[in-house]
Amino acid sequence: MVDALRRHGGLTISLVAIQDDHIVGHIAFSPVTIASETGTIEALGLAPMAVLPAYQRRGIGSKLVEAGLTACHNTPYGVVVVLGHPHYYPRFGFTPAKPLGIVWEHDAPDEAFMVQALREGALTQTKGVVKYRPEFDVVSP
């Protein structure tokens, strides 16, 4: 998926973690749309984020998320969404999206689909259904 996003210019932010001269983690943010009856806005989706198993539980993922969100603030987008562990992402400022009127186009547990404002007031103006890029719809063999 990351290769497909890269080939099609779909990576807004792509960061790696390096230890011992090896890539041990990666995080990506790509454009998503949030469509409602009143229109469509563009936002960012955090996905994927991964750390090699031998390097997990060392804070690498947290540092990637923090650095990625800092980079997101330097983009024109006002909102970032994530489908992820409901006990992991809230520490970075993510909150459940559904109570704010934002839902994912696919079924997912309400507590696992989360959102964060990158700009003050961005969530008061944002409602609708989130759709990720088509590269996310491709199932790997």
CATH of the domain at 117: 3.40.630.30
Task: Encode burial over 54-93: b for 16+ CB neighbours within 10 A, e otherwise.
Answer: ebeeeebbeebbeebbebbeeeebbbbbbbbeeeebeebe
- Domain of 118, in residue numbers: 2-135
- Is residue 140 situated within a structural domain? no
pLDDT at residue 46 is higher than 70:
yes
pLDDT at residue 140 is higher than 70:
no
- Is residue 141 situated within a structural domain? no
Please state the separation of Cα 42 from the chain's center in Å.
Answer: 13
* Domain count for the chain: 1
Q: How far apart are the C-alpha atoms of 97 and 116, rounded to whole Å?
A: 8
77 Cβ contact list (under 8 Å, min separation 6): 12, 31, 42, 43, 44, 118
Rg (CA), the chain: 15
- Is residue 77 situated within a structural domain? yes
Report the pLDDT averaged over residues 29-57: 95
pLDDT at residue 51 is higher than 70:
yes
- Is residue 113 situated within a structural domain? yes
pTM equals 0.91
Predicted local confidence at residue 85, as pLDDT: 95
Predicted local confidence at residue 135, as pLDDT: 80
133 vs 113, higher pLDDT:
113
Cβ atoms of residues 92 and 115 within 8 Å: no
- The pLDDT > 90 percentage for the chain reads 82
21 vs 135, higher pLDDT:
21
